[in-house]
Structures are given as structure tokens and as C-alpha cells.
């Protein structure tokens, strides 16, 4: 897939441009948008567009909670990098060293490193990862299903690997489930407990939490919607149980903004850890942005104004989250969209292109 570059923004203030770009996202069929931008001067701008609830038409809360999807992977990567810096593990350790006998079915656990799992180059089969999508009927039938990490990995191991370790890049949620198991083995504590103690508490991310087996979201929040097929109505997909290490946390735009900046400004990671985080491999046509690469738990792509934007982002049924941060952590933008448009590739690309334009305009604009 390939999304377009930044759209032309209207004149006026940065706040006017942000509102315009948020409304452009809703024009693609998205029900509600929250956007938050922090400039190099530290000033924060927020905008909302659309509605939080199609039944009532209530406004989108600017501080609403949402499911962050695979932005969760960046949280896990930060924890693994800290553990590596402390000598508790090494990025070059094999999965077999930490989880003996867990990886099989043609997968070579001796050749799949923790770095490969973080970077999606391990070839871990992902086609058996439990999906709540595909159709409204499947969502309703599976939204409260609970799967242990062991069950998810075992299901994958009944298949051949996607490719030999290191042969190419291929996204694997199951690989991050394995990383959660490694963190627990290395620390004796659940992966999300390590995220809470190492990232959330130090940064004061008080509105970010692991929902466990609760399908609900705390107030305030917009409702999440999904269109599964052409011509179908949007389906309310707010309620869901899905909280493994590949994508389970709930957060807000303010908290994710704080996290994204802390990744790059030296607060969370030292210079060596940051170098590991940002060592990328090309992803080719498998990402929605031309020239994209993947580091440890996050994408990168060129900005139209020059330089690189780092993208710790993710999708979860009912929501799309896009985060963009500059290499020095001084400028950042977070966009929460409370709709997934799966009715066609064209709909998906239009939504992605509109979000990309918002991020590019926010990061490339001159300060007011």
C-alpha cells in the first residue's frame, strides 16, 4: 500500500490547520478524531472532529481513552531495551535460550533472536493470531474470547514459518506475544507490570492502563466503529477483550504524546539504546508509506519537508492510532481515529492518507 504525502493546508494559525486536517479525516468516513500536537516550543494544540457516538451525536472528548493497538509494541520494545542495558538479557539472545521448547513446528528457535522478534524479521507465522475482525458476525462471536500467550504461540507453531529468520521483514503479532513471555521469564513479572513500572509511572502516564479481561473503556471515550464490507453500516466495536503484548493497552493522546517524546529526548533510553531502537530494516510495500523502515517496535518514513518521522502506531478493531515524533523528540503529533474502514482497500488508503497529511502538516509547519 502507498499513502499520499501531505495535503495542502489552508492558511491561518497552526490550530486552524490542525482542525482542518482532523475534519479531512472525518471526510473519509471516520466517525471521530482526536489530534494533539506539541511544537518545538513546547506549546500544545488539540483538535477534535466528528462525533463520539453515532446514536447521540455527542462531541468527541479531547482527552478520551482509546485502544492503542500495536503502539503497545513500542512500549514492549522500550522495556526490552532497558532490560538489555541492565544485562538482564541481550537482543542477540535466541528465543530458545529464554523459552526452551516453546518455538517449534519448523520454526528454529535457536536462530530467532529477540532483536528479530522486535523487528519482525524472525519469520514467526502470524496467520493463526486470533482476529476479532473479518465480519460483524465474527466480531460478535469472538469479542469476549480469552487467549493465553501460550495458546496463541502454540497455534502459530502448528504452521510452517513465514520465512527463514532474517530472510526479510514480515509483521508478526505472535512474535510480540513471545516477547511478552520472554520479559516475564527474565524478570519474574508480567510484561505489563514491567511496562507500568519502567514507563508509565516514571512518565506520569496516569491514563494509560492494561485492561486485562475487561471489555470496557473508562470515561470519557468515543465509541469505536468498524465497517467490515462495502455497503454495510458501521458496527459499534467498542467492547473487546484483547490485551496481549502485541497490542493491549488503553491510553489517551496526552499520554502517548508524553511517551513518544520521552523515547527520543533521553528520558527513557540512553544513546546506545536509542541507536538500537532506530536501526531500521526496509519494509517495502507492506507498510502504507513510501520509503518506510522498521526499527524496534516502530516504523519510520521520510518527511516531505526533510528528515525522518518515527511512528509508534497501531490499529485495533474500532480504532486507528497514529503517532509521529521527530528524531530529537521536540515535535510530536498523536491522532486517534475511532473508526476502522475495512470495506475496501481504497477506503483504508484514504483514511491513512488523511492521517498522514495531518502528521506531515503538523511536523513540517513553521511555528506560529
For 76-94, what is each residue's pLDDT tens digit?
999 999 999 999 999 999 9
| pLDDT reported for residue 2 | 31
Quick check: 222 pLDDT over 60? yes
Instruction: Categorize the per-residue pLDDT at 288 as very low, low, confident or very high, splitting at 50, 70 and 90.
Output: confident
Q: Residue 105: what pLDDT?
A: 87
What gap in Å lies between CA 351 and CA 335, rounded to an integer?
12
Question: Residue 93, exposed/middle/buried by CB under 10 A (0-12, 13-18, 19+)?
Answer: middle
Alpha-carbon distance of 163 to 242, in angstroms, equals 27
302 Cα distance to chain centroid: 18
**pLDDT confidence tier of residue 365, bands split at 50, 70 and 90:** confident
Region 201-208: mean pLDDT is 98
What pLDDT was estimated at residue 4?
Answer: 38
Sign of CA dihedral 264, 269, 275, 276: negative
Give yes or no for residue 344 having a pLDDT over 50: yes
- For residue 8, the model assigns a pLDDT of 45
* Rounded alpha-carbon distances, angstroms, from residue 99 to 107, 171, 319, 331, 332: 13, 21, 33, 39, 37
The pLDDT tens digits for 103-143 are 998 999 999 999 999 999 999 999 999 988 889 999 999 99
Task: Tell how far CA 241 is from the center of its chain.
Answer: 17
Q: Does the pLDDT at position 62 exceed 50?
A: yes
Average pLDDT over the chain, rounded to an integer:
94
CB 258 within 8 A of CB 204: yes
Q: How confident is the model at residue 166 (pLDDT cuts 50, 70, 90)?
A: very high
What is the reported pLDDT for 238? Answer: 97
Q: What is the pLDDT of residue 53?
A: 98
Phi-psi region of 15 (alpha: psi -120 to 50; beta: other; left: phi over 0): alpha
Among the residue ranges 110-114, 247-251, 310-314, 364-368, the one predicted with the least confidence is 364-368
Q: What is the rounded average pLDDT of the residues 251-270?
A: 97
Distance CA 180, CA 157 (A): 17
Give the integer Cα–Cα distance in Å for 268 and 195.
Answer: 12
pTM more than 0.85: yes
Pick 14-364's CATH classification: 3.30.1330.80, 3.40.50.300, 3.40.710.10, 3.40.50.1580. Answer: 3.40.710.10
Distance, CA of 214 to CA of 83 (rounded, Å):
29
Nearest to 80 by CA among 268, 325, 259: 268
Average pLDDT score over residue span 200-211: 97
pLDDT exceeds 50 at position 336: yes
φ, ψ at 318 (rounded to 5°): 95, -15
Residue 272: is the preceding peptide bond cis (ω within 30°)? Answer: no
Query: Residue 285's pLDDT band (boundaries 50, 70, 90)?
Result: confident
Average pLDDT over residues 29-51: 97
Confidence of residue 291 (pLDDT cuts 50, 70, 90): very high
Classify 200 as helix, strand or coil: helix
Amino acid at each position: 500500500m502507498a499513502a499520499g504525502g501531505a495535503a495542502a493546508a489552508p492558511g491561518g494559525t497552526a490550530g486552524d490547520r490542525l482542525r482542518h486536517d482532523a475534519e479531512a479525516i472525518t471526510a473519509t468516513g471516520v466517525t471521530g478524531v482526536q489530534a494533539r500536537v506539541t511544537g518545538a516550543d513546547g506549546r500544545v494544540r488539540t483538535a477534535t472532529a466528528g462525533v463520539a457516538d453515532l446514536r447521540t451525536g455527542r462531541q468527541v472528548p479531547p482527552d478520551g481513552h482509546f485502544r492503542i493497538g500495536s503502539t503497545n509494541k513500542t512500549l514492549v520494545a522500550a522495556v526490552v531495551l532497558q532490560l538489555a542495558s541492565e544485562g538482564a538479557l541481550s537482543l542477540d539472545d535466541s528465543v530458545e535460550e529464554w523459552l526452551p521448547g516453546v518455538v517449534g513446528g519448523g520454526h528454529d528457535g535457536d536462530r530467532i533472536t529477540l532483536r528479530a522478534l522486535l523487528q519482525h524479521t524472525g519469520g514467526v507465522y502470524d496467520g493463526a493470531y486470533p482476529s476479532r475482525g473479518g465480519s460483524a458476525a465474527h466480531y460478535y462471536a469472538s469479542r469476549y474470547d480469552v487467549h493465553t500467550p501460550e495458546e496463541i504461540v502454540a497455534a502459530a507453531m502448528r504452521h510452517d514459518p513465514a520465512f527463514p529468520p532474517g530472510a526479510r521483514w514480515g509483521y508478526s503479532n505472535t512474535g510480540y506475544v513471545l516477547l511478552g513471555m520472554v520479559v516475564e521469564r527474565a524478570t519474574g513479572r508480567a510484561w505489563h507490570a514491567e511496562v507500568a513500572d519502567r514507563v508509565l509511572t516514571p512518565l506520569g502516564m496516569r491514563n494509560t492502563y492494561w485492561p486485562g479481561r475487561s471489555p470496557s473503556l473508562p470515561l470519557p471515550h468515543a465509541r469505536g466503529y468498524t465497517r467490515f464490507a462495502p455497503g454495510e453500516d458501521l458496527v459499534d466495536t467498542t467492547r473487546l477483550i484483547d490485551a496481549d503484548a502485541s497490542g493491549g493497552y488503553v491510553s489517551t493522546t496526552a499520554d502517548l504524546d508524553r511517551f513518544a517524546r520521552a523515547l527520543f529526548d533521553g528520558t527513557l533510553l540512553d544513546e546506545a539504546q536509542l541507536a538500537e531502537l532506530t536501526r531500521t530494516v526496509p519494509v517495502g510495500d507492506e507498510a502504507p508509506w513510501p520509503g518506510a523502515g522498521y526499527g524496534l517496535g516502530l516504523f519510520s518514513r521520510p518527511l516531505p519537508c526533510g528528515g525522518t518521522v518515527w511512528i509508534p502506531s497501531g490499529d485495533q478493531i474500532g480504532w486507528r492510532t497514529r503517532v509521529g515524533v521527530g528524531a530529537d523528540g521536540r515535535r510530536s503529533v498523536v491522532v486517534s481515529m475511532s473508526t476502522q474502514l475495512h470495506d475496501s482497500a481504497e477506503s483504508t488508503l484514504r483514511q491513512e492518507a488523511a492521517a498522514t497529511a495531518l502528521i506531515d502538516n503538523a511536523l513540517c509547519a513553521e511555528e506560529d
